Amino acid sequence: MEDHLRDFIHYLVVERRMADNTVISYERDLKKYVQYIVKVERVESFQQVTRGHIIQFLKELKESGKSSKTIARQIASIRSFHQFMLREQIVQQDPTVHIETPQAEKTLPKVLNLQEVEALLSVPKTNTPLGMRDKAMLELLYATGIRVSELINLNLVDVHLSMGFIRCIGKGNKERIVPLGRIATEAIKQYIETSRPQLIKKKRPEALFVNHHGNQMSRQGFWKNLKRMALEANIKKELTPHTLRHSFATHLLENGADIRAVQEMLGHADISTTQIYTHVTKARLKDVYNSFHPRA
């Protein structure tokens, strides 16, 4: 059974060309699923899997406190896996056909206000190589709204400062061009000319952002730095790399940006994904009204 799972993961990487994080998510979900049907349901082959087995697995997830969003993602992983096996004629039927996906709770993304953004961006000390790098990374994230995975995978050749844009590869290996603002451009320029040469020393990495060893910056490394900088900025909200992406989109829409343009910059395939930010701006308008209108 593990062989079939490995074949499916290989299919996602080679044929579907999915992003590394997406593949990791599929593999993690499916390993839990396979472990359950083998150890609990005593299933010996995928041909024996029934709708009932999957329902019981999903029930276990719900009883353990998993959210509707997590369960919906798990169903999507299981469904894709069984459809793959059906196409490959490993099984004769798909037990996921009549399994409904639960309605995910709609949660508004957490965003920083302008004062909090300014406080965070002012934390890095640009008189040190690492501070200059952190400043450039934060300015770039807020200026473009790119994902942290896209940020750390940027190479020098992807940055076009004179023309004011970056080229990044998003989900599904889709390329997009995102404009850069003046302040972010200046921060990146200073980093490339002054800080990066000191960090890479004699190494010649392609990556734009590097750690103190001169190697490509990792997600974990940036996440660790961001948590430290959030503390220094005295930001009480939960702050993740995605918070800056949410803030980028929300602030653009609040200032009158066209939603289609924001969709393009974020790299959303479906505009319904971008529309969540219109709900955020409406919620913030309501807060302002309740705070300042004399008869609110």
Catalytic position from the list 167, 171, 189, 219: 171
> Is-catalytic flag, 6?
no
- Assess contact for 123 and 233: CB atoms under 8 A: yes
The token pair that represents 17 in the structure block: 């060309």
Residue of 135, 245, 246, 251 marked catalytic: 245
Catalytic residue among 16, 51, 176, 242: 242
In the chain, which residue ranges form alpha helices assigned H by DSSP?
2-14, 20-39, 51-63, 68-87, 114-121, 129-144, 148-152, 182-190, 196-200, 219-232, 241-254, 259-266, 271-274, 276-292
Residues 6+ apart with CB under 8 A from 106: 276, 279
Q: Does the annotation mark 82 as catalytic?
A: no
Tell me which of 36, 142, 191, 277 is the catalytic residue: 277
- Catalytic, out of 79, 167, 176, 268: 268
Strand order through the sheet with 159-160: 159-160, 165-169, 175-179
From the list 147, 196, 246, 251, the catalytic residue is 147
277 in active site: yes
Question: What phi and psi, each to the nearest 5 degrees, are found at residue 41?
Answer: -90, -5
Residue 240 CA to residue 110 CA, distance in Å, equals 9
Residue 156 falls in which region: left (phi positive, over 0), alpha (psi -120 to 50) or beta:
alpha
Distance CA 61, CA 67 (A): 9
Q: Is position 203 annotated as part of the catalytic site?
A: no
For residues 155 and 205, give the distance between their C-alpha atoms in angstroms, rounded to a whole number.
9
Residue numbers annotated as active site: 147, 171, 242, 245, 268, 277
